[in-house]
Structure 1
């Protein structure tokens, strides 16, 4: 089975709906702007991001886009937007491009990277 490329997955997301496509692309752009060197890989049906350590992933669903933080339980969530109660993961649900800013995703990306790095 061939491994799906990031571009191929993004094109599939666009077929499902323009809003989720725009959210995914805006999240990708923010991550690339926030971290100097970032790599992306398709895994578990989403795009995982690594900058020194793997720190988050973005997954498109029918009704929303979820930004998942594998070490999210280590994040001290003073902002209050993280969802999830598992042992490790936490996530942000995004329903619009505007929520990237209103839910302060840029701040969560830094916190998630720090948590994944063990800092």
Structure 2
């Protein structure tokens, strides 16, 4: 069985709108890949199986969905932000951002390629 975080405890100190956005993003990730483990690392919600593939990073007024191997996603044509060696992210500002086809496509690609 996949590991899960006690989300109420983790999100308790964040503003309500950020809590709602975080829960909805989490639900989207786990709907696409229910077998991902959910673990708190570096004070972020991280997802993967055996290794971290993506993380929800909470900021004051937005979320970043970070991808551990985001550089390869950019090379595949996905418009992600960031300039690190491999890490890239997609900024989530509002609930409508969660409805984007781009977000779902990226999560599904991570899901399909998770063992590579």
TM-score (norm 1): 0.79
Structure 1 segments unaligned to the other structure (5+ residues): none
What are structure 2's unaligned runs of at least 5 residues? none
Q: CA deviation at 1:58?
A: 0.2
Q: Report what 1:38 is aligned to.
A: 36
The CA RMSD measured in Å over matched residues stands at: 2.1
Is the counterpart of residue 21 in structure 1 residue 19 in structure 2?
A: yes
Tell me how far apart the structure 1 counterparts of residues 33 and 50 of structure 2 sit (CA, whole Å).
Answer: 10
Q: How does 1:75-114 map to 2 (within 5 A)?
A: 75=73, 76-80=75-79, 82-102=80-100, 104-114=102-112
Equivalenced residue count is 111
| 1:48 correspondence with 2:23 | no
Query: Higher relative contact order by CA 8 Å / sep ≥ 6: 1 or 2?
Result: 1
Do the aligned residues in 2 keep the contact of 1:55 with 1:112 (CA within 8 Å)?
yes
